[in-house]
Structure 1
Amino acid sequence: MTSKKESALDLSKFIDKGVRVKLAGGREVSGVLKGYDQLLNLVLDEALEYLRDPLDPTQLTDKTRSLGLVVCRGTAVMLVAPTAGMVLLKNNPFLEGEAAEAE
């Protein structure tokens, strides 16, 4: 009896659509998903890398760098999300607590 291995993610619905990928090490890239395999190696076209703040590497800046066609190795892929309908929320409960303490 032969069983076909299946990936935990079904990325077929994202082919030729915009995705945002978070990679190990903190890099974030967005582009059009052109292909993938069962090891989660991704091929992105028209890729943009979101640059980090040099003073605070945990924060993304508004600056981007055009990468073109990119292959993301599956072992480095941490998150794949569609860009359609993506909204950045300002949610930092720690700032509210610090502001309350300052008053």
Structure 2
Amino acid sequence: MAGKAKESAVDLAKFIDKGVRVKLAGGREVQGILKGYDQLLNLVIDEAVEYLRDPEDPLTVTDETRSLGLLVCRGTAVMLVAPSAGMEEIANPFLQAKDGEQAAEGDDE
């Protein structure tokens, strides 16, 4: 058992040399081409682009970007890794339900 290498819980081999979107601790999001990773989930991303947050609402990511180039992400900061191909934004169904509830409550008064 002592000679066994620690294996990662996530297999990112299928994403090598493909576009990925990475969410980091603290709310930052980057997109680029995954060039490498290790068992601690440290990532090397080429042609990295950061999606900036809205200054008025820090929880909202805008379409505004800045180029970072080659990026090394420490594994402890990586929260999510997803393929960028086929990624699209959808409306929040819970937000719509909440608005409908407020409208229904307002009708009673």
In the superposition, the TM-score normalised over structure 2's length comes to 0.87
In the superposition, the TM-score normalised over structure 1's length comes to 0.91
- Aligned equivalent of 1:24: 25
| Further displaced range: 35-44 or 92-101 | 92-101
Structure number with larger C-alpha Rg = 2
Query: 1:100, CA displacement in angstroms?
Result: 4.8
State how far apart, in whole Å, the 1-side matches of 2:86 and 2:77 are. Answer: 25
Secondary structure at 1:95 match in 2: helix
Runs of 4+ aligned residues of structure 1 deviating over 3 Å after TM superposition are none
Query: 1:99, CA displacement in angstroms?
Result: 4.3
5 Å-filtered alignment, 1:62-101, equals 62-101=63-102
Amino acid at match of 1:46: E
What runs of 5+ residues in structure 1 fail to find an aligned partner?
none
State how far apart, in whole Å, the 2-side matches of 1:72 and 1:93 are. Answer: 32
The answer to whether structure 1 residue 61 and structure 2 residue 70 are counterparts is no
Secondary structure at 1:8 match in 2: coil
State how far apart, in whole Å, the 1-side matches of 2:79 and 2:51 are. Answer: 15
State how far apart, in whole Å, the 2-side matches of 1:30 and 1:96 are. Answer: 31
Equivalent residue pairs, number: 103
Q: Could you give the per-residue CA deviations for residues 44-74 of structure 1, whole angstroms, max 9, x where no partner exists?
A: 0000000000000011111000000000000
What runs of 5+ residues in structure 2 fail to find an aligned partner?
none
